[in-house]
């Protein structure tokens, strides 16, 4: 009986901890202005490069708007790194 309560408590603590970790795992969304994209192929290549980057959870790139909306894990990436990735595609991040 006691061990059953113990295991229930352990499970409860585990679930709580997992919930907290999930809540604090910072997913950030940033909008980065990108210049030079002319068509859907341009935005597709930026999207591909971003999505291939470790820590990027989602990337929506629009050549019409000239921007990339990137959802990323704050613990693995930062905005500077994302700018580097975009610059690496040949398109330029607008400062
Ligand atoms: Cu193009």
Per-residue tens of pLDDT for the chain, all 95 residues = 667 766 766 766 766 666 666 666 689 999 999 999 999 999 999 999 999 999 999 999 999 999 999 999 999 999 999 999 999 999 999 97
Q: How far is the CA of 77 from the centre of ligand 1 (A)?
A: 27
* Residue 18: per-residue pLDDT: 66
Residue 7 pLDDT: 74
Cα(36) to ligand 1 centroid in Å equals: 8
Delineate the domains of the chain, giving CATH numbers in brackets: 26-93 (3.30.70.100)
Give me ligand 1 centre to Cα 73, in Å.
Answer: 28
Distance 15 CA to ligand 1 centre (A): 47
SS3 readout for the chain: CHHHHHHHHHHHHHHHHHHHHHHHCCEEEEEEEEECCCCHHHHHHHHHHHHCCCCEEEEEEECCCCEEEEEEECCCCCHHHHHHHHHHCCCEECC
- Measured in Å, residue 50 CA sits from the centre of ligand 1 at 16
Supply the pLDDT for residue 3. 77
């Amino acid at each position: 009986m006691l061990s059953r309560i113990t295991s229930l408590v352990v499970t409860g603590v585990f679930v709580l901890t997992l919930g907290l970790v999930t809540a604090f795992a910072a997913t950030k969304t940033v909008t980065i202005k990108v210049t030079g994209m002319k068509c859907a192929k341009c935005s597709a290549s930026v999207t591909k490069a971003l999505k291939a980057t470790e820590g990027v959870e989602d990337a929506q790139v629009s050549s019409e708007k000239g921007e990339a909306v990137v959802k990323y894990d704050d613990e693995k990436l930062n905005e500077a790194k994302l700018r580097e990735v975009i610059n690496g595609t040949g398109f330029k991040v607008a400062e």
